[in-house]
């Protein structure tokens, strides 16, 4: 029996197998996957089954969807949003950027995300989806630009019948706070933000921030969808 | 006293009143509004009286007026081609035609032929082409044009009574219900709204490559999004009309190492130029806002031209190419939407 309570696993490789190994090494462990990437979806589903059977818990630290600004942005996003635009500036590959966009969409309460069209080029892509938010249909677009012109970031724009919302989330290399700007009839508000990355936020809240099995399954689905796009 | 260039205005509607006459009033040392003609004689007479100009009795009358050296065509689009051509054949010194230039490629080609035959300079009122910040950005544009990989054009407008009346300064400007979400609307949305920035966008698209519209959709209350591929560049065109208060008019272009973002003031307002920001090698450069806007830029260019200097206006082939691009996007997007609605 080892004395480790919390396992930290680098999510860039075959993290699901590694997580299964750690979860199986005794009870009451917390397995933390840092920036989980596009591992094999079946291994991720297998991991779900292992966690379900055992007594270990799993947590995922995701740079963009885990940013502490997201819940506040979500709370303030108008109900009548009919169109959302997700823009990724990345210096890495487009597939990882799209996976982060899907994860962000989930974190913002979008469900039943179904792909309608894709325009994939060597250094950029543009995808259209339909999704549901609180039961209402909305159009969704992802634009990815692989460029070193700007430091990596995601910009999410929500367009409603009477309001606009823009959220900019910066990469993990900077703890620069996300900017959540909301414009409605009462004016324009920059939501309060803190100098904290998703990583510190998650580690600080580890006791009560573990992922549910549904979240893990959703992650596997997102990886599957992203892989099916065959992006660079 | 220095010679003032005589201007003839065709159409006494909102654009003449809110855009061109205020600019010409500011440039009154160089321009004089000689005459106004509208199919509605009351509209012509009322506006002519307000600005101390003559009111022509017919288009022919305006063309024959020797004081009218330059024509500003501000009538509905279906009349543009015929009026531009007749203005050129009548020997006017320059023509400013509001966007869109025409309704068909054939009309645009006819304009081009007559422009070449008569040598009369033509400007199209896509004012962002003449925006001082855009012009100041030229070096970056040349840098980017060789390797643009993504272009995002997003236009957010509040076409409600409050915004329209304050922007145009015209009381009772009809706003009515917004456009419908029927497929046909996409065509006019491209030719009336997206068209403003298509000449700028075209400067970044790979030369000689066909465009392909991949997707088009409409959303509530009114908005469109269109995905276009051209060579190795994606073009993301969208607009959103809503009842909020804030307009936002953005154009953003990126290559592997350079990006530019331009934020324009909305149509009608005389609020100075756009602000252009470019990033490369970790350095951001901000250009603008300059005092003049694109509308003033149009008249500055005409003034420079008529002094016999190089005004650097787009050649007529480019003007026709810009129009063709707009029409191509509009038609392809319409075909996609009609197909989707039928399913
Ligand atoms: N550059 C911009 O920012 C901008 C903004 C809006 C509209 N526009 C363009 O400007 C043009 C005019 O738009 P508007 O909003 O002023 O329209 P409007 O409907 O307010 O005015 C058009 C005027 O033309 C008159 N008219 C109708 N038929 C005519 C004819 N055959 N000859 C002469 N006049 C005729 C009408 O009586 C009316 O007074 C359109 O081409 C439009 O696309 C440009």
A23 near A58, Cβ under 8 Å? yes
Distance (Å, rounded) from C-alpha B259 to C-alpha B343?
A: 39
Question: Min CA distance, A84 vs chain B (Å)?
Answer: 10
**Average pLDDT of chain B, as a whole number:** 94
User: Within an 8 Å CB–CB cutoff, is residue A232 touching chain B?
Assistant: no
Helix (H) or strand (E) holding A161, with range, is none
Q: Which helix (H) or strand (E) holds B136?
A: helix B132-136
Per DSSP bridges, beta strands A136-146 and A124-133 are antiparallel
What is the dihedral sign for C-alpha A177, A198, A232, A91? positive
- Confidence (pLDDT) at B59: 98
Query: What pLDDT does B175 receive?
Result: 59
**What is the rounded average pLDDT of the residues B199-214?**
95
Q: Which residue among A87, A121, A146 sits closest to B229, beta carbon to beta carbon?
A: A121
Q: Tell me, what's the pLDDT at B160? A: 63
| Residue B178 scores a pLDDT above 70 | no
Chain A residues closer than 8 Å to B220 by CB: 80, 82, 161
pLDDT at B341: 87
Among A49, A18, A21, which Cα is nearest to A36's? Answer: A18
| Predicted complex ipTM exceeds 0.85 | yes
Residue located nearest, by CA, to atom 6 of ligand 1: B15
Residue of B234, B243, B341 to mutate, interface with A, max A Cβ within 10 Å: B234
CA-nearest residue for atom 40, ligand 1, is: B76
pLDDT at res. B281? 87
Contact A41, A221 (CB under 8 A): yes
Q: In this prediction, what percent of chain B has a pLDDT beyond 90?
A: 84
Domain with CATH 3.40.50.720 in chain B: 5-124
Q: What pLDDT score does B71 carry?
A: 98
Cβ-Cβ contacts under 8 Å, B232 against chain A: 121-124
Q: CB neighbours of B253 closer than 8 A, spacing ≥ 6?
A: B144, B148, B150, B151, B152, B201, B204, B259, B260
Q: What is the atom index within ligand 1 of the atom nearest the CA of B268?
A: 3
As a CATH number, domain B129-293+314-342 is 3.30.360.10
Residue B97: pLDDT band (50, 70, 90) is very high
Q: From the CA of A184, how many Å to the nearest CA of chain B?
A: 6
Judged against a pLDDT cut of 70, whether residue B167 lies above it is answered with no
Q: Is any Cβ of chain B less than 8 angstroms from the Cβ of A81?
A: no
Backbone CA torsion sign across B190, B191, B196, B202: positive
Residue nearest to atom 38 of ligand 1 (CA): B13
pLDDT in tens, A67-108: 999 999 999 999 999 999 999 999 999 999 999 999 999 999
Q: Does B227 touch chain A (CB under 8 A)?
A: yes
What mean pLDDT do residues A150-162 have? 96
Residues of B in contact with A89 (CB under 8 A): 254
The full DSSP string for B124-177 is E--GGGG-HHHHHTHHHHHHHHTT--EEEEEEEE--SHHHHHHHH--TT----S
Q: pLDDT, tens digit, for every residue of B225-260?
A: 999 999 999 999 999 999 999 999 999 999 999 999
A126 with B234: Cβ contact below 8 A: yes
pLDDT of residue B172: 56
The rounded distance, in Å, linking the Cα atoms of A158 and A85 is 7
Query: pLDDT band for position B140 (50/70/90)?
Result: confident
> Does A166 contact B at CB distance below 8 Å?
no
CA distance A116 to A14: 30
Cβ pair A22, A8 in contact under 8 A: no
Per-chain mean pLDDT for chain A = 93
Nearest residue CA, atom 3 of ligand 1? B267
Whose alpha carbon is nearest atom 18 of ligand 1?
Answer: B13
pLDDT of residue A133: 94
Beta strand spans in A175-231 (E):
179-184, 187-190
Task: Name chain B contacts of A121, Cβ cutoff 8 Å.
Answer: 149, 229, 232-234
For A6-27, how does the pLDDT look when each residue is reduced to its tens digit (9 = 90+)?
999 999 999 999 999 998 887 7
pLDDT of residue B30: 97
Cβ A9 vs Cβ A18: under 8 Å: yes
Q: What is the model's pLDDT at position B109?
A: 97
> Do residue B219 and residue A118 have CB atoms under 8 angstroms apart?
no
At residue A118, the pLDDT reads 97
Ordered by where they begin, the domains of chain A are: 6-63+199-229 (no CATH), 70-196 (3.30.360.10)
CB of A173 closer than 8 Å to CB of A63? no
Q: Does A121 touch chain B (CB under 8 A)?
A: yes
Interface of B with A in 260-319 (CB under 8 A): 279-280
pLDDT tens for each residue of B39-71: 999 999 999 999 999 999 999 999 999 999 999
Whole-angstrom Cα distance, residue B281 to residue B311?
33
CA separation for the pair B21, B55 (Å, rounded): 15
pLDDT above 60: residue A1: no
Judged by DSSP in three states, A150 sits in coil
Q: Which residues of B are less than 8 Å from A188 in CB distance? A: 246
Q: Per the structure block, which two tokens stand in for B224?
A: 């469109």
Closest by Cα among A142, A83, A73 to A108 = A73
CATH class of the domain comprising B5-124? alpha beta
Specify the pLDDT at position A163: 96
Phi, psi angles (nearest 5°) of residue A185: -60, -25
Q: What is the DSSP letter of B180?
A: P
Compute φ and ψ for B83, nearest 5 degrees: -70, -35
Which regions of chain B carry the CATH code 3.30.360.10? 129-293+314-342
List ligand 1's pocket residues with C-beta within 6 A.
Answer: B 10-15, 38-40, 43, 74-77, 79, 98-99, 125, 127, 192, 267
CA end-to-end span of chain A, whole Å? Answer: 43
CB contact under 8 A, A159 and B259: no
What span, in angstroms and rounded, lies between the C-alpha atoms of A56 and A211? 11
CA of B74 to the centre of ligand 1 (A): 5
Cα–Cα distance for residue pair B222/A140, rounded to 1 Å:
15
Query: Which residue carries 């154009």 as its tokens?
Result: B251
Higher-confidence residue of A212 and B199: namely B199
Backbone φ and ψ for A31, nearest 5 degrees, come out as -105, 120
Q: What percent of chain B has pLDDT over 70?
A: 94
């Amino acid at each position: 029996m080892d004395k480790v309570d919390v396992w930290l696993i680098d999510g860039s490789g075959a993290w699901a197998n590694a997580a299964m190994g750690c979860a199986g090494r005794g009870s009451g462990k917390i397995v933390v996957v840092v920036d989980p990437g596009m591992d094999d979806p079946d291994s991720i589903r297998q991991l779900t089954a292992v966690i379900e059977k055992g007594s270990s818990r799993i947590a995922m630290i995701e740079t963009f969807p885990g940013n502490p600004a997201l819940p506040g942005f979500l709370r303030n996003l108008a109900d009548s949003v009919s169109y959302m635009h997700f823009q990724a500036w990345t210096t890495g590959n487009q597939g990882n950027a799209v996976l982060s966009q899907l994860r962000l969409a989930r974190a913002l309460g979008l469900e039943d995300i179904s792909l309608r069209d894709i325009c994939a080029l060597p250094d950029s892509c543009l995808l259209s989806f339909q999704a549901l938010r609180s039961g209402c249909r909305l159009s969704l677009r992802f634009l990815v630009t692989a460029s070193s012109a700007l430091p990596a970031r995601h910009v999410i724009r929500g367009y409603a019948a009477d309001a606009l919302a823009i959220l900019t989330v910066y990469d993990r290399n900077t703890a620069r706070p996300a900017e959540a700007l909301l414009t409605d009839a009462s004016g324009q508000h920059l939501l309060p933000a803190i100098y904290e990355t998703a990583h510190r936020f998650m580690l600080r809240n580890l006791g009560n921030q573990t992922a549910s099995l549904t979240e893990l399954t959703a992650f596997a689905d997102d990886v599957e969808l992203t892989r099916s796009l065959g992006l660079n | 006293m220095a010679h003032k260039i005589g201007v003839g205005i065709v159409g006494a509607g909102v654009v003449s009143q809110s855009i061109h006459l205020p600019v010409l009033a500011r440039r009154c040392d160089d321009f004089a509004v000689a005459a106004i003609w509208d199919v509605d004689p009351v509209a012509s007479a009322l506006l002519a009286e307000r600005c101390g100009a003559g009111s022509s009795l017919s288009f022919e009358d305006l063309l024959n007026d020797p004081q009218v050296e330059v024509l500003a065509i501000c009538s509905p689009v279906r009349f543009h081609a015929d009026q531009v051509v007749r203005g050129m054949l009548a020997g006017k010194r320059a023509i400013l035609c509001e966007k869109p230039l025409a309704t068909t490629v054939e009309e645009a080609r006819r304009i081009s032929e007559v422009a070449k035959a008569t040598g009369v300079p033509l400007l199209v009122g896509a004012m962002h082409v003449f925006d001082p910040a855009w012009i100041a950005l030229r070096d970056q544009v040349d840098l980017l044009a060789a390797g643009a990989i993504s272009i995002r054009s997003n236009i957010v407008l509040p076409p409600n009574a409050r915004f329209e009346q304050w922007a145009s300064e015209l009381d009772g400007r009809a706003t009515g219900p917004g456009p419908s979400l029927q497929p046909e609307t996409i065509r006019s949305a491209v030719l009336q709204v997206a068209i403003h920035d298509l000449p700028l966008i075209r400067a970044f698209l790979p030369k000689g490559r066909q465009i392909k519209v991949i997707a088009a959709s409409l959303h509530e209350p009114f908005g469109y999004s269109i995905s276009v591929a051209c060579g190795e560049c994606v073009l993301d065109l969208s607009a959103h009309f809503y009842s909020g208060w804030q307009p936002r008019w953005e154009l953003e272009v990126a290559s592997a190492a350079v990006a530019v973002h331009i934020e324009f003031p909305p149509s009608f307002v005389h609020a100075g130029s756009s602000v252009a920001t470019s990033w490369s090698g970790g350095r951001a450069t901000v250009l603008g806002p300059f005092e003049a806007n694109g509308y003033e830029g149009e008249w500055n260019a005409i003034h420079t031209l008529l002094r016999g200097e190089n005004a650097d206006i787009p050649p007529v082939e480019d003007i026709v190419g810009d129009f063709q691009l707009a029409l191509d996007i509009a038609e392809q997007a319409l075909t996609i939407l009609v197909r989707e609605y039928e399913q």
